[in-house]
Amino acid sequence: MKSIKPYIIPVFITHLGCPHQCVYCNQKTITGLSFPLKEKQTIDLEKIKREIDYFLNRKIHPKHKEIQIAFYGGSFTALKPSLRKKLLDLGYEYVRKGQVDALRLSTRPDAVDESILAELKAYGVKIIELGVQSLDDRVLRLSKRGHMATDVYKATEKIKQNGFLLGWQLMPGLPGETQDSLRQTVEGVLKWRPDFVRLYPTVVVKGTLLARWFREGKYRPLELYEAIEICKKMFICFEMNGIRVIRMGLQASESLLKPGQILAGPWHPAFGELVKSAVWLECLKVILTQNNFQAKELTIFSHPANLPQIVGHKKNNLEALKRLFPKKRIAFVPDLMLKKDKLKISDGRNWVCFSINSCLEDGRCLL
C-alpha cells in the first residue's frame, strides 16, 4: 500500500469535451455552467496560470519526486483542437522551463487515436487516464457512456504502444452491474494491466437520470458497507498483482458537497481510509487464524502512520477482532522502527514480524 506520489497541480476543465451525459452525471450541478457545453467551450487561461503559479510557489515536500500538471474532470482529447492546443501550450511552457516534470490528463476511451497521441507526446504528456467505468457492455449502455469495452481495449493498446503511463478509472455499482460483470471488469484489469487504477463507487447526484431512477425504485445504489467490501477485494486483487490503486472514493467538488446534492450511495469523506482499514483487518484475520497464537494477551505493533487504519474507524477493527477472537485481549501499539507495510505481534515472550504482502500474497480475486 506504499507508493511515492507526485506533486499534482490540478487544472479542472470539468466536463468540457464530454459528448454524452452519463446517467450519474449532472453537468450543471458540478460545473455551475448554464450553457450547453457542446455549443460553447471557453476557459480562462490567465486564471489557470495564476492557479498553477500558486501551487508552484507553495513549499513542496521533498518526498514528492515529480511535479505534474493534471487536466482533470473533462474529456481532454475530445476538446476542440484549438482549445486543446491552448491548454497544452500553457502546460508545456512550465515543462520547457523546468518548473514541471510532466503533464497528465483524463479522457474517454473512444477519443484516442494515433494523431492525438503524437500531439500529446510532443507537449510533454506522460500519463493518460481513461474513464473506463466498466467492461460490461450492458452496464456501459445503461449508463449512457457512449462507448463499449472494445473502445477501452483499443485505446489501451495504442496508449501503451506509444509509451504513456496508463490509468483506468472504474465505477463499481453502476446500473445493471452484477457479480459476474464486476468480475469481468476485474479480470479485464488483470489482462490489460494499466499502471494504476482509481475506484469511484457510484453515488446518486441530484438532477441526474440516475436520481430519477432511484426515486422510481429502478436503481438501488450500493450501501456503504457493500462498496467498502467490493473495493477491498478489488484493492487486494490489483495491488497483489502489481497494479496500484491510487485513489478510492469520490473527491467531490464544493457544489457536490452542498446539502441535498448527493441523494444516496456510498459517499464518505474518508472512503479510501475505510477501505484500507478493511484491508488491514483482512490481513490481521489471516495472521491470527493461521498462526494460532496460544497466549491470551497479544500486542500488535505498527508504524504510527498506519495505526488509525489498523485500529479502524471508531475502533471498528479492534471490535471486530474481539468478536472473532473473544478469548484474546488485543492491544495496538505504535512502533517507529517498523516499516509501514509491516506488523509485529508479541505474546509477551516472543514476537513475530509480518508484511501485509505476505498475508495477502496470492492476490486472489475474492469477488
Q: How far from each other are the two terminal CA atoms of the chain, in whole angstroms?
A: 20
- Check if the beta carbon of residue 350 is closer than 8 Å to that of residue 335: no
List C-alpha distances in Å: 146 to 111, 141, 143, 149, 170: 11, 7, 8, 10, 16
In tens, the pLDDT along 1-52 reads: 445 689 999 998 877 878 878 999 875 544 443 334 443 556 889 999 999 9
Whether residues 199 and 311 fall in one domain: no
Whether residues 186 and 329 fall in one domain: no
Whether residues 14 and 78 fall in one domain: yes
Range of the domain at 202: 7-269
pLDDT of residue 30: 45
pLDDT of residue 367: 60
Whether residues 133 and 109 fall in one domain: yes
Q: Is residue 90 part of a domain?
A: yes
Among candidate residues 269, 292, 322, the one where a domain is terminated: 269
**Measured between alpha carbons, how far is 259 from 78 in angstroms, rounded to an integer?**
32
Domains held by the chain: number: 2
In tens, the pLDDT along 336-361 reads: 999 988 999 998 888 889 888 777 76
Count of Cβ atoms closer than 10 Å to residue 338 Cβ: 16
- Check if the beta carbon of residue 265 is closer than 8 Å to that of residue 203: yes
Q: Is residue 278 part of a domain?
A: no
pLDDT of residue 312: 93
Whether residues 59 and 147 fall in one domain: yes
pLDDT beneath 70: ranges in the chain = 1-4, 27-42, 252-253, 361-367
| Of residues 222, 325, 234, 214, the one with CA closest to residue 276 | 234
Among all chains, which residue has been given the C-alpha cell 497528465? 104
The pTM score is: 0.91
Whether residues 186 and 321 fall in one domain: no
Q: Is residue 154 part of a domain?
A: yes
Whether residues 197 and 288 fall in one domain: no
Whether residues 264 and 139 fall in one domain: yes
Whether residues 260 and 313 fall in one domain: no
pLDDT of residue 34: 35
Q: Is residue 224 part of a domain?
A: yes
Among candidate residues 236, 269, 302, the one where a domain is terminated: 269
For residue 335, the domain's CATH number is: 3.40.30
For residue 210, the domain's CATH number is: 3.20.20.70
Whether residues 253 and 352 fall in one domain: no
